[in-house]
Structure 1
Amino acid sequence: MNRTFECTVYDPNQYVGLEIIRDRANKTIFIYQSYVSRILKLFNIENSTSAKAPAEPNYFLQKQENNPAGEVPYRQAVSMLKFLAIVSRPDIMFLVAQVSRFLDSPFKEHWTAVKKIFKYLKGMSDCGICYSGANLEPQTYSNADYATDVDTRKSISEYTAIMAGGAVSWSWKQQKCVSRSRAKAEYVSASDAAQEAQWLRTFLKELEVFEGLLLSLWITGQPYK
C-alpha cells in the first residue's frame, strides 16, 4: 500500500474493543477495555461505592427457591460481563461463570452477585494485562475446586496459561463428570489444561515463532514438563 498510496503506518491502538498501549522503551504491551466505563454507566453503577473483590472468599452461588429477581436486565448484564471476562478480565471469570448458570431464572442473590462484580470493576476499571519481552516460555497453571457445586456435587476445572508475563488463555468451568476424590478432580482439570497447552504449542508452531520453547504445566503448584 505504501508503494501505491501516500500513507502513514501507526502502531495499533484498538482491536475488537481492546485498547492497546505499546511502550517501546520498556518493551511492553498493555491491553484493557474502556468498555467497562460504558457498562457502569448503562447500569447506573458509576456513582456507587466500589468493592475490593468481586465476591467473598469461597463464595459459590446456588439455586434458590424464594425471592426471584423480578424484572431486572440480568441476561444483558451477564452477557456484557462475560464478554469482558473472556477478552481481557480473567480476574472476574470465576464469578461470571457462576452467574451465567442462572440466566433463565435468576433470584435476588444472583442479581446482587452481578452488581457486586460491577462495583468491583468500578474500582479496577483501568486494570488489564501487560505483556513484556521477558519469560517467553509458556506456562499453564491448573487447579480444581472439589465438589464445589452443592446442587450437583460436580467439581470445577480452572486453568490459566501465561506467556510473556501475561495471561494469554484462561478458563473456569464445571466438570462434566462427578469426581469421587479431590485427586480425580485435579486430574480432570489438568487434562483440560494440557489440551489448552498443546493447542497453544501448535498455534505458536503455525506462526513460526518461538519454536522449541518448553511448555510447562503446573498442577496445584507442581510442575510437569
Structure 2
Amino acid sequence: MVPGSISFFIEHSRLQMGVSHQTKTRWLHRSLQGSVGYQGLSPAGSNAFLHGTLSESVFMQQPPGFEDSTKPHHVCQLHKSLYGLKQAPRTWYDKLHAALASLGFVGSQSDHSLFVKKDNSLVFVLVYVDDILVTGPSSVDCQHVITQLSNLFPIKDLGPLHYFLGLEVKRSSTGIFLSQTKYILDLLTKAKMVGAKPCNTPLSTSKIDHDSSLLENASEYRSLMGALQYLTWTRSDLSFAVNLVCQFMHTPKVSNFQAVKQILRYLKGIIDHGFSKCSSFPSIKAFSDADWAGCELDRRSTGGYCIFLGNSLISWGAKKQPTVARSSTEAKYRSLANTASEITWLCQLLADIGYCLPCSPQLWCDNVSTISLAKNPIFHARTKHVEIDYHYIREKVVAKHISLHYICSQDQVADICTKSLSAA
C-alpha cells in the first residue's frame, strides 16, 4: 500500500468488524464474528493528510523552486496540512470525522476509531490513520457509503481485502483465517535467521541467566522487540514470551538475546500458523490467571487473560503486576480485576454497535479463594493492603455484570499467558 493512500474494504457477513484499543492497534484481530459467504472490495484514495484544514497559524519557508524573488525573506502561511506536520494526523481525523457525521455516522464512545450508522441497516467504518475499513451486513449499503465518500475524497479501487497492516486474511466457507506469514519471513530475514533450526516452544522452561554480560548491540535487540510485539496481534502463544524479553530492553544481556533467538526459532517452525474466526453462539467467556512471584528478580507476578466471543478468541494479554503480591490469591485477584476491566470495555463496545449479550459474561478462575474474595466482602480484613481499585471486580460481581466460575488448572486457557510451558 502506498503511503498516504486511503483504502476501503468491504466485508459483509452477519456481523464482522475490527477495533483498536487505547494506544494499541490490535483491532483487526478482534473481529466480532466470522463470516460465511462474504466478499470484499477495496477502493482507495490518495494523499489523505493533505485534506486536513489547519485551525492554528503554521508558517514554513518558501519551498525550493517556488521562491518569490521579490520577497525572498518572506514565509508561507499554511491553510492545509502537509505530511510531516505534527498536526497532520489530527486535522485529517477531524476532516474525516466531520465527513462521516454528515453521512449519518456516530462515533463510538468506547473506541474513537469506530463509527456506526444505524439507519435501514448497519454499516461500520473503522479508521486507522489513513486506512479505513467499511463493513456491514449489506454490500449495497457499504458500496453506497464508499460512493458518498468518493464525492468528498478522491479514491481508487485496491481490490479484495487479503493483506492489511501486515495481516493476511484468507476466506473460507466457515469463516476467516488471520496470519502474519509474510511479516514473520521479513522478520527472520532481518534477524538473519531464515535458516535457523525450528524449536517447539517460544521459551525454555529453565530460568534466564541474569549474570551474563551486556549485549553490545542494544539497538538491534530493541528493534526486534518492537517487531515481536506486533506479532502478538495474531499469536496469543507469544504473549508471555514477548512480555518477558521486553522487560530487559533498557540494558539487554547476552542471555536475553538468546531468549529472543529461541522465539524466532519457534516462529520458524510455525510460520504458517494463525487463528480462525467463525460464526458461533455470541456470548463472552473469559479466563484469568496469574503466576505468583514468577519473576526471580523482584518476585512480582505476571497476570494474563484470554477472552472469547463464542468460539472465537478476540482478546488476550500478559502483563507484569506493578507490585509484589503477598499470596497467590492476591496475585490472581489483581489479574481478575484487570480481566474484568477488559470485559467491561468489550461490553461497552458491543452496546455501541447495538448488540445486547444474551447472558452475563462468564469469568473463569482456578483459585477458590480468589473467587470467594470477589464474592464475599467479609474477607476485607485479610486484604487491607490490596489497592482499592482492584476491588472493582467485586462491584461487577455484586451487580451481576460478570459471573465468576471455578475451573481446574488443567483446563485454564489463560495459563499460556502467564508462564513458559513445556512442549508436551
For the superposition of Structure 1 and Structure 2, which TM-score range results when normalised by the shorter chain? 0.7 to 0.9
Aligned Cα root-mean-square deviation (Å) = 2.4
What is residue 15 of structure 1 aligned with on the other side?
164
Three-state SS of the structure 2 residue aligned to 1:157 is strand
Give 1:56-75 correspondences, 5 Å limit: 56-57=204-205, 59-61=206-208, 64-71=210-217, 73-75=220-222
Three-state SS of the structure 2 residue aligned to 1:47 is coil
TM-score by structure 1 length? 0.88
Whether contact under 8 Å (1:60, 1:98) holds in the other structure is no
Aligned partner (choices 184, 197, 202) of residue 49 of structure 1: 197
Give 1:1-225 correspondences, 5 Å limit: 11-23=160-172, 25-26=173-174, 28-33=175-180, 34-57=182-205, 59-61=206-208, 64-71=210-217, 73-85=220-232, 87-220=233-366, 224=404
Distance in 2, Cα, partners of 1:196 & 1:14: 28
Whether contact under 8 Å (2:283, 2:357) holds in the other structure is no
Distance in 1, Cα, partners of 2:367 & 2:326: 22
What is the CA distance between 1:22 and its match in structure 2? Answer: 1.7
Q: 1:95-151 CA distances to partner (integer Å, 9 max, x unpaired)? A: 101110111211111000000000000111111111111232111110000011122
Q: 1:149-182 CA distances to partner (integer Å, 9 max, x unpaired)? A: 1221111111111124232111111111211111
Given the superposition, is the C-alpha separation of residues 198 and 10 from structure 1 closer, same or farther in structure 2, using an over 3 Å criterion?
Answer: same
Distance in 1, Cα, partners of 2:283 & 2:190: 40
Calculate percent identity across the aligned residue pairs: 25
What is the CA distance between 1:221 and its match in structure 2? Answer: 7.8
What is residue 111 of structure 2 aligned with on the other side?
none
Q: Which is greater in Rg?
A: 2
Given the superposition, is the C-alpha separation of residues 17 and 96 from structure 1 closer, same or farther in structure 2, using an over 3 Å criterion?
Answer: same
Whether contact under 8 Å (1:61, 1:99) holds in the other structure is no
Three-state SS of the structure 1 residue aligned to 2:364 is strand
Distance in 1, Cα, partners of 2:325 & 2:367: 20
Whether contact under 8 Å (2:332, 2:367) holds in the other structure is no
Aligned residues: 219
Distance in 2, Cα, partners of 1:54 & 1:8: 40
Distance in 1, Cα, partners of 2:161 & 2:353: 20
Given the superposition, is the C-alpha separation of residues 93 and 60 from structure 1 closer, same or farther in structure 2, using an over 3 Å criterion?
Answer: farther
Three-state SS of the structure 2 residue aligned to 1:149 is coil
Task: Kindly provide the amino acid, as one letter, of the partner of residue 404 in structure 2.
Answer: Y
Three-state SS of the structure 1 residue aligned to 2:337 is helix
Distance in 2, Cα, partners of 1:156 & 1:218: 17
Given the superposition, is the C-alpha separation of residues 76 and 153 from structure 1 closer, same or farther in structure 2, using an over 3 Å criterion?
Answer: same
Task: Kindly provide the amino acid, as one letter, of the partner of residue 30 in structure 1.
Answer: F
What is residue 374 of structure 2 aligned with on the other side?
none
Given the superposition, is the C-alpha separation of residues 165 and 101 from structure 1 closer, same or farther in structure 2, using an over 3 Å criterion?
Answer: same
Given the superposition, is the C-alpha separation of residues 213 and 14 from structure 1 closer, same or farther in structure 2, using an over 3 Å criterion?
Answer: farther
Task: Kindly provide the amino acid, as one letter, of the partner of residue 283 in structure 2.
Answer: E
Whether contact under 8 Å (2:289, 2:336) holds in the other structure is yes
Given the superposition, is the C-alpha separation of residues 166 and 61 from structure 1 closer, same or farther in structure 2, using an over 3 Å criterion?
Answer: farther
Given the superposition, is the C-alpha separation of residues 219 and 11 from structure 1 closer, same or farther in structure 2, using an over 3 Å criterion?
Answer: farther
Three-state SS of the structure 2 residue aligned to 1:208 is coil
Three-state SS of the structure 2 residue aligned to 1:75 is helix
Whether contact under 8 Å (2:329, 2:367) holds in the other structure is no
Instruction: Point out where structure 2 has 5 or more consecutive residues left out of the alignment.
Output: 1-142, 151-155, 369-402, 406-424
Whether contact under 8 Å (2:288, 2:304) holds in the other structure is yes
Distance in 2, Cα, partners of 1:96 & 1:40: 16
Task: Kindly provide the amino acid, as one letter, of the partner of residue 177 in structure 1.
Answer: T
Task: Kindly provide the amino acid, as one letter, of the partner of residue 96 in structure 1.
Answer: V
Considering Cα pairs closer than 8 Å and 6+ residues apart, tell me whether 1 or 2 has the greater RCO. 1
Distance in 1, Cα, partners of 2:327 & 2:357: 38
Distance in 1, Cα, partners of 2:238 & 2:293: 21
Distance in 2, Cα, partners of 1:36 & 1:164: 29
Given the superposition, is the C-alpha separation of residues 192 and 213 from structure 1 closer, same or farther in structure 2, using an over 3 Å criterion?
Answer: same
Distance in 2, Cα, partners of 1:105 & 1:198: 36
